[in-house]
Each structure stands twice: as C-alpha cells, then as structure tokens.
Chains A and B, each alone.
Chain A
Amino acid sequence: MSEPVLRTENLTRRFGGLTAVDNLSISLAGGRVHAIIGPNGAGKTTFFNLVSGLLGPDSGRVFFRGRDITGCKPHEISRMGIKRTLQVKSVFPELSVADNLWITRQARSRFLHPFRSAASDLQAKSDVERTLGQIGLTGLAGRPAGTLSYGDVAMLEIGMAVISEPSLLLLDEPTCGMSPAETSRAVAKIRDLARTIDIIIIEHDMDVVFGIANDITVLAQGAILASGTPAEIADDERVREAYLGRPEDEDFVEEAIHA
C-alpha cells in the first residue's frame, strides 16, 4: 500500500480531566472517502482540530503524506493542502458570498498584492463564478454571508472548500442543518470532489455516511471502536449496539457512551 494520506501516532489530547483523544493511532489511505462517526463527545472534532493545527496534542504525532506536521500553525497546514470546514458553520459574515469565495481562493497564495484592485483579477473572478454556479448560490453572490439561511451557509462552506483546491479535505458535519434537497446536492458535490481529492468526513446522518464513505472509523471516548468498510461496520455487533441501532436518537447515543 502506498503512503497513507494521513497518519497519527499515539495522538492524545486532554481537557482537564477529560481525555478527548486517547492514544489514537490511525492510518488513512489515499484515494478513498473516510467517514469518522461516533457518539457526541467521542473526540471526532478534537481529532480534526489536532490535524488542522487549531489544537496541539499533549503527546503523539500527526503525519500528512509522510510529513510530520505536528505543531504547525493552522495557516501553514492549510497551505500544505489540508482544508477543513467547521462544525458550527463559520464564514466571513460581513463579506459578500462572492468575496468569501474570493478570499478563500486567494489565501492559497503567499502574497496578497497590497495595491492592485482585487476586482481586476479575471482568473479569480471566473473561478468564483464557476464555484457559485456549482453550489447554486449565483443568485446570492452579492449578499453578505451573514444574512444567508443556515443551509446556504453550509453550501457556501462547501464552496469555500472546493475553491481552495485542497489535497485533503476535512468536512465536519457538512450537511448539518441542510434541507433534504440541499443534503442530496451536497452529497453529490462531495462525491464529485472525492474523485480528485482525499476526504475525511465527520457526519451524524447515516444515510450520508453510507452514501459517501469507502471506509468508516467509529470513535468512542477518544479511541477507535471499530473500523472497516461500510458493510463491515454495519455488521459489527458492538457498533450496532452502541450506535447504529437508533442513529436519530441522541439520548440513546449519550447512553451508549456510558454503557
């Protein structure tokens, strides 16, 4: 097997007495869509925070395509090609939808020209227009992103991920808050993206997970409970008991943690 796209060695992060990510060693091969699932508090988002540099680990290391990125700053990791979305949708609220995409595209380059007019960059302009079309927000291009509906913001986040041309994309509950129609549009877009880039997705919607993922890793209490193909995970008794039985029932999931 070739070099894994993302690999962690004994990654641990504690918050006070709580161990959010517990000695996690994970190796994710390239060319596949990985889903990370698990009950609330399993450490999924903390794992993303450790990979994207928002948090430093207490111990352990993170490797991206064989390169040790432990302790790198978020913008450095972003420039290596790891882009992510945030669980609580996070865009630039006072910038227009088009400008959100524009600056995301431009942030790829190290140099931001201080005097040239931003509007004169025709290549950027056409990239933005194409992405707006892909995510279906062309009609809202001039609106401040803060005035969009939640589903549209989630769509804009996906657009920002697309235009940043990642080599590894971390999606944290991308379809949360979307209508069924928006969800299927997003799923189609993510499948389309997966042809060229590696994707790791955290998702609670099992239809989405089983519709997209090639591999699934189940986390519980910061450690791997199970991992395998969707079929293997669906057949795994422990996962079935702990998680898949009633995926919509959050209370049940809470109980599962303490089981």
Chain B
Amino acid sequence: MTRRTIEIGMAASFAAFLIAVPWLIPALTDNFWVSVITEILIWSLFAASANLLFGYVGLLSFGQALYFGFGMYGVALGIDHFGLSFWPAFGLGIVAAMAMALLSGVFAVRLSWHYFAIITVVFSLIFYFLAVSMKPLTGGDDGINFSLPPVFRFGGAVWSLTDPTFQYFFVLAAVTVCFFLMYRVINSPLGKGFLAIRDNDLRASLIGLNVYVLRLIAFVMAGFLAGVSGALFAFFGRYASATYMFYQVSGEAVVWTIVGGAGTMFGPLVGTTLFIVIREIVSSHWEHHSLIVGLMAILVVIFAPKGIVGLWNGWMTRLGERDAAASVPPRLTLRADP
C-alpha cells in the first residue's frame, strides 16, 4: 500500500464515520456519546485556533479562551438581552470575537515569543475578571442561560438544535466549513507567508513581507475560529459563562494542539478527541484525570515533539521512502499540503 491510498482510505472512513455517528453510536453504545462527539468537534475547532497561531505562524497564544468567551457571550447576550434570532446571534458572537482579537492583536503581535504569550494571558485575565465582576450583565461564574431560537423556519417546519441529530449535523457542518477555510488559507499565498514568518521572521521581513500585518491577520483569523467554536458551544450548552474565559481553557487548547501535532491540519482534532475521551471515561471513576493528561503531554513532548500526527507523518514518509520506486517524490510534511 502506498501512502496516498492509506491516507485516502483513512479520510474516507473518517468522513463516513462522522456522517454515521447519530445512528452508529446509539446502536453500539449510549446516546450520550453523540453529544460527547459534538463537544469534541467544537473543542477541536477551538484547538485549531491555537494551532493556526502556534503551528503555522509561530505565535504561542495562551489567551484564545478570551475569543471563545466573546463568541459565547455574543450569542448568549444577543439572544437573551437583544432578543436576536439564531443567525444574527451567531454572527454577533463571531464578530465580537474577531473585533476583540483585532483590538488585542494590535498590541500583542508587536511582541514575539514569551512576551507575546504573556500579553495574551494578560488580556484574557483582564476580561475574565471583568466578566466575573459584571454579574448583572454576564452572570459571572454562574453564567447566563437562554432558550434556543430555531435555526430555520420553513413554512410550518422548524429545525432547532433541540433535536440532537440536527444539532450534531449543524455542528459538524460548521466545524467542517471552518477547517476547510483554514485548509484553503494554509495552502494559499497568504498561508505560505505565515509559514515563512514562523520559520524565520527576520528573513521574512527582508524579502518584503510585512510581518506585523500578517501576524495580525492570522491573529484575527484565529479569533474567528475561536469565536465560532465559542458560539457553537453556547448553542450546545444553551448558556455562556465567564469560567470559559479563564486561561486554563486557553492552556488546554495549546496542550491538545501540541499532543495532537502543532502545524498539522488534524493535530488539534486528534489531541482534543484523545483528551475528551479520556476525561469522559476516567472522570466518573477518578477525579484526578488531569494527571493522565499531564503525563501524556510530557511523554509526547519528549518522545514525539511533532505530536501524534507528526509521528504518523514520519511513519508515512518512511513508508514513502521505502516505496522509492514511486515516481512522485515523497511529501515531507502534512503541514502545507495535507
């Protein structure tokens, strides 16, 4: 088997699995796992926003929860305070997250490496404490609950996320669209500019790339991904809470991304799946499930610095080299050309 057939086969079976989830999972196990998979999809999009910055532009952000929170509150306040219907509330969440990313990005992307990481934490902490203290508006730690407006109304028929199957497919569609957009960006001229900056920002500026502007664009794009995931999570949980703006949430996205494989398209999905499945299985028996997370993160960083997907790519590359007879040169990384 060549690398290409393995990859196509895996992609096809993965897609088939995702489409079959609402029927397959109840037949095999509990309905509960459909909602876990929905949650995994949402969080993997959140991890993808950390990955876009860290894996493709070289910016380690510990503040993505801020934009997740803005997505959440945009939806919740849009529905609860302003009485918006589904789509305008969704839009408000995304726009709020991107606007916040633009505002903080203007300051943050001037800095590099640890200074950048610190300022992203600071921004997220400021707004976390603001959200906690502005209880009348945000509900603080308790959050605000809202009732779901319908997604579509067509004649007499109404589609709403209260139907778990519809909710699953809605989330799957939204996450797929976002991953597809990210794939397009990464393989575009802009994406190559991102990679150049990640690799060597000094050289990038000498060939004429405006490093500041490109980093800012990436930061707002990451804000978009985090905002969509936050908005989806608000719809999924029917509430928004300041707890999700805490930097621990941001840190989880970074850990999931690194374990899954930073700078790979599917690394965040793999990492998120792994950790949420572990959490769901272990947490009912043992409250210290985060110890497993920590141990795994350490093992991966030591033994597979490019993450699980990076490890896989390494095997695939070796497989490709073994089939050296193949006329096409082996693709060396999944990074730019998954």
A115 touches B205 (CB 8 A): no
Contacts of B318 in A (CB 8 A): none
| A117 nearest in chain B by CB position | B187
Contacts of B210 in A (CB 8 A): 73, 75
Q: Interface residues of A, CB < 8 Å — how many? A: 38
B207 touches A103 (CB 8 A): yes
B200 touches A91 (CB 8 A): yes
B192 touches A99 (CB 8 A): yes
Tell me whether A92 and B206 are in contact in the complex, defined as CB-CB below 8 angstroms, given that A114-B190, A115-B184, A119-B187 are known contacts: no
For residue B185, CB closer than 8 A to chain A, the reply is yes
CB of A64, distance to nearest CB on chain B (Å): 14
Give which listed residue, A79, A90, A118, A144, contacts B192 with CB less than 8 A.
A118
A93 touches B200 (CB 8 A): yes
B205 touches A117 (CB 8 A): no
CB of B250, distance to nearest CB on chain A (Å): 25
| B335 nearest in chain A by CB position | A94
Give which listed residue, A84, A93, A112, A118, contacts B199 with CB less than 8 A.
A93
Interface size class of B (residues with CB under 8 A): 20 to 34
Contacts of A96 in B (CB 8 A): 332
Give which listed residue, A52, A94, A121, A144, contacts B206 with CB less than 8 A.
A52
CB of B39, distance to nearest CB on chain A (Å): 29
Say what secondary structure dominates the interface of chain B.
helix
B329 touches A142 (CB 8 A): yes
For residue B225, CB closer than 8 A to chain A, the reply is no
A78 touches B206 (CB 8 A): yes
- A91–B200 Cα gap in the complex (Å)? 7
For residue A116, CB closer than 8 A to chain B, the reply is yes
Give which listed residue, B188, B199, B208, B209, contacts A115 with CB less than 8 A.
B188
Tell me whether A112 and B188 are in contact in the complex, defined as CB-CB below 8 angstroms, given that A75-B208, A96-B332, A142-B329 are known contacts: yes
- Enumerate chain B interface residues (CB-CB to A < 8 A): 181, 184-185, 187-193, 195-196, 198-200, 202-211, 214, 217, 329-333, 335-336
Give me 30 A-to-B residue pairs in the complex whose CB atoms sit less than 8 angstroms apart, sorted by A's number.
A74-B205, A75-B208, A75-B211, A78-B208, A79-B208, A86-B203, A90-B202, A91-B203, A92-B203, A94-B198, A94-B199, A95-B196, A95-B199, A99-B192, A103-B193, A104-B207, A107-B204, A107-B207, A108-B208, A112-B188, A112-B190, A113-B188, A113-B190, A114-B185, A114-B190, A114-B217, A115-B181, A121-B189, A142-B329, A142-B330
The 8 closest A-B CB pairs, nearest first, are A78-B208, A92-B199, A112-B190, A74-B205, A107-B208, A112-B189, A107-B207, A114-B190
